[in-house]
Amino acid sequence: MVKVGILNVTGYAGAELARLLYNHPEAQLASVTGRSEAGKKLAEVFPHLAAYDMAVDPELGDVDFVFSALPHAASAESVAPLVQSGVPVVDISADFRLNDAKEYAEWYGGEHPAPELLPKVAYGLTELNREAVKASKLIANPGCYPESALLALAPAAKAGLIGPDIIIDSKSGVSGAGRGLKQSLLLAEAGESVSVYGLKGHRHLPEIVQELRKMWRESESPKVTFTPHLVPMTRGILSTCYAPLSTTKTEVEVRELYQQFYSDEPFVRIVDAPPSTKQVRGTNACHVYPTVDQRTDRLVVVSVLDNLVKGAAGQAIQNMNAMLGLPETMGIDMPALYP
């Protein structure tokens, strides 16, 4: 039984890790921290986790494996000594997602707290980077939007099927914005309303571009516009990805390519009807629906996932499973909460 710790259990990603680990047969939650709530019972902070009967620790106890759900910068600082001492870590923050410390500084507004660790990092989109994940002790868990966009675009990008003019239009539930207090996230404000944000450049954009480039076969680099939207629900991301076909393909051919690409992946399903986020709520699944707009010769791929599971805590546990040599589906294989 692996003793697992969670740094900052008090946000939504941290709490979701605790929820999912509850039924993991080989991992046991041994210690959790949470800045302002240290000393409280976990049940007091999150009544839905009352079954744990454990307290929020000021510092992490003795554990074999660590998930960090700290905010960026704080995460790298806390994670660095752990990595130094050989504890495997999956970092859910953004700190190790960008390979280049300069780009990090540009987008996250500050020097990278642990640039010396960057070469050791594996980008934790397990489906696209499995061997590196297995070989690494420090995983940068992907952002929720990049996860949805990259799973949607990877088969086409790797096959050289699409030109560089890529548009990613994403719709997210509000839990992606976290548990902090913002007026725009009040039910009275966000309810019954759709809004757009991040038009000046969302921090997930450089992550998407970085990973797309790695799989890109065309000569011209991808030119990505990424627009996130807030929809009045709690969980779920639907990303609609548009790219020109660089070679003529029918929808049937494209679907076959996608089916083939993900044929061995337990968590990615190529669906044959337009998907909705509720079909994957609470699960580690990502449903991908590739189509061709024949009027304009464009590939239009829609993906749906639960931003707190496949977009955060579930993907993190999938990475842990891979790192520990366990079946990747262990503890995170369940049907969605529908309706």
Site for a copy of itself in 2-21 (CB under 8 A): 12, 15, 18-19
Give, for 192, the enclosing helix (H) or strand (E).
Answer: none
Give, for 138, the enclosing helix (H) or strand (E).
Answer: strand 138-140
Q: Which of residues 98-117 bind a copy of itself (CB under 8 A)?
A: none
- In the annotation, is 241 catalytic? no
Asked if 51 is part of the footprint of a copy of itself (rule: CB under 8 A), the reply reads yes
Whether 294 and 302 have beta carbons less than 8 Å apart is answered as: no
Distance in Å, CB of 138 to a copy of itself, minimum: 28
State both tokens at 336. Answer: 């969605």
Asked if 235 is part of the footprint of a copy of itself (rule: CB under 8 A), the reply reads yes
Of 84, 111, 135, 186, the one binding a copy of itself by CB under 8 A: 186
Whether 146 and 123 have beta carbons less than 8 Å apart is answered as: no
The amino acid at 237:
I
Candidate list 144, 152, 238, 288, residue with the active-site label: 144
Asked if 187 is part of the footprint of a copy of itself (rule: CB under 8 A), the reply reads yes
- Binding to a copy of itself by CB under 8 A, coded x per residue (else -) over 20-39, reads --xx----------------
Asked if 304 is part of the footprint of a copy of itself (rule: CB under 8 A), the reply reads yes
Of 167, 215, 324, 330, the one binding a copy of itself by CB under 8 A: 167
Of 24, 72, 97, 171, the one binding a copy of itself by CB under 8 A: 171
Distance (Å, whole) CA 27 – CA 97: 25
What letter would DSSP give residue 141?
Answer: P
Whether 75 and 95 have beta carbons less than 8 Å apart is answered as: yes
State both tokens at 174. Answer: 């509000």
Of 54, 80, 105, 336, the one binding a copy of itself by CB under 8 A: 336
Distance in Å, CB of 224 to a copy of itself, minimum: 7
In 3D space, the residue among 62, 72, 61, 19 whose CA is nearest the CA of residue 38 turns out to be 61
Asked if 190 is part of the footprint of a copy of itself (rule: CB under 8 A), the reply reads yes
Q: Count of residues for the chain? A: 339
Residue 87 backbone dihedrals phi, psi, to 5 degrees: -80, 125
Report, as residue numbers or ranges, the catalytic residues: 144
